[in-house]
Each structure stands twice: as structure tokens, then as C-alpha cells.
Amino acid sequence: MRFIRDVAQPGSALAWGARGRWFESSRPDSLNTVQFSYYTLTIADKILHFLAKVEYDGALPDGIRMMNPYRENEDIREICSSFYRKFYNDDQPRELIFGINPGRLGAGATGIPFTDTKRLIDGCGIQQDKFSTHEPSSVFIYEMIKAYGGAENFYRRFYINSVCPLGFVKVNAGKPINYNYYDSKELESAVRDFIITNIRTQIAIAGKSDICYCLGTGKNYHYLNKLNSQFHFFREIIPLEHPRYIMQYRSKTKDNYINDYLRKFQV
């Protein structure tokens, strides 16, 4: 029998209830590996615990809505449990890769960063037939992961999350569109403390802070680098071109970017 203290189990009311706020138990110091007589927390335990608890309850600028897929959709909770139990069911440290914030068709749809439903099935071997999504960024990431050696090898070394762990949408002509934390100074200022807490939490989950890879060589990298200069989260931040930019503007030369990722990963 496995005994776990204050760690929400996947699928439980505690794990996925509507009360998922920043409780004390979701703070970085309580996410470090804790040794018990019968059980050591795995990376999967810590990630799923974080997803169950994370919530932003501060003010947002007019017209901007926070997107929390981990509370809004039971299918996403099941996908997250399957994915993280499959690839992170151990206590070995991972190197962090930070995106911007979840988008509607990637992590906003499946709960897994840069993973749409097709890549979830074909790239990760996790079956899901309740809905279908396509995200160009996911296409690039999983072509890169294939070149790296496949999902098991990649996720054994890396853990992908975001500078801001929850996404944003803005309604434009009656349709929701993705919105980034840096798209307005007002939003950036509103979520700054939330982001700082998140970075510390993700480091505690990953168990490593020497190197962080940043997806985005522009605003996301500059913002993360500025915070790092103040708080010294990481010894080094290595920028990688963002998959969305590659697929939208440089798709004909995406193999060059895949090689650049692998070179910076020192493969």
C-alpha cells in the first residue's frame, strides 16, 4: 500500500475540485521530494498535485479571461493523469523548458504543453477519441521529439511548462483568441507575482535549476531573463525559437530549427 500525505490523487474530488487555489501545499517548499516510510513522491505526483491546485484569483484587465483547462474539463484531467503517469512516474530530476502560457489548441485542449490530440495519440501512445485538435506548434515539437529519439527519451530528460501556467483569451468579434501574458503591460503587471511563484514551483517540481530552455527568442525570453537577473532562478537560460513562429513564418526551413534545438540540447 502507498501512503501519501497531502498529495491529491488523480481523478479524486480533492485533486480536481473547484477549490484549486494556491493553498500552502502547492507552494514550492512543499513540492520538494518528501521521503516517507512507504513512498517517495514522483515527478508525476508533484505535477498532478500542482495542476489540481493552481488558480489565479487576482484581477485581470477588461476583456481578458483566464483559461484554466485543468479545472474546466474532466477529459483534460484524465489525459494529464495518463500522460504524466506514463512519462514522469519516477523521481529523477528534469531540465525545464518554458513556453509562454497555454494556448487554446495545445495545453488548453489536452492539458499537455504543445501536444494536440493527434500528437497525443501518435507521438505519446495515449488514446483519446472524445475530441480532436490540431496545433501547428505541436507538429513542430513532436517532429523535434522524434529526431531527439522519441517521447520516452525526450520526457525522461525534459519537463515542459510555461512562464505563466494558465492561459488567456480575449474575445474579438465574438470569437475567443489566444492572448499572451506580455501582450499588454496591464496584464503583465497583474500576473507578475503569480508568474514568479510559478517559476519557483516548477523548479521545485523539476528538481533542477542549472539550465532553463526558453521557447521564444523575443518577449518571452527577455521577460524571463529580466526576472532571472533579479531572482537568480537559473544559472543559464538558453533561448529557442518559438514553434509557432517557426511554423507560421519559417516552415520551409523547420529542419534547420530542429537541428538548432538538438544542438542546444547537446544531442
User: How far apart, in whole angstroms, are the C-alpha atoms of residue 183 and residue 18?
Assistant: 28
Asked if residues 195 and 66 have their Cβ atoms less than 8 Å apart, the reply is: no
Say what the pLDDT of residue 107 is: 82
| Range of lowest pLDDT (7-16, 143-152, 168-177, 246-255) | 7-16
User: How far apart, in whole angstroms, are the C-alpha atoms of residue 13 and residue 11?
Assistant: 7
* Predicted confidence (pLDDT) per residue in 74-84, tens digit: 889 999 999 99
Say what the pLDDT of residue 31 is: 53
Nearest alpha-carbon partner for 135 in 45, 22, 248: 248
* Predicted confidence (pLDDT) per residue in 101-132, tens digit: 998 877 888 999 999 999 999 999 999 888 88
Residues in the chain: 267
Domains and their CATH numbers in the chain: 27-264 (3.40.470.10)
Above 80 in pLDDT, residue 14?
A: no
Say what the pLDDT of residue 130 is: 86
* Predicted confidence (pLDDT) per residue in 151-209, tens digit: 999 999 999 999 999 999 998 888 889 999 999 999 999 999 999 999 999 999 999 99
Say what the pLDDT of residue 11 is: 38
* Predicted confidence (pLDDT) per residue in 27-70, tens digit: 555 555 444 445 689 999 999 999 999 999 999 999 999 999 88
The model's pTM = 0.85
> Which CA distances in Å does 121 have to 73, 108, 110?
19, 17, 11
Asked if residues 202 and 96 have their Cβ atoms less than 8 Å apart, the reply is: yes
Cα end-to-end distance, the chain, whole Å: 40
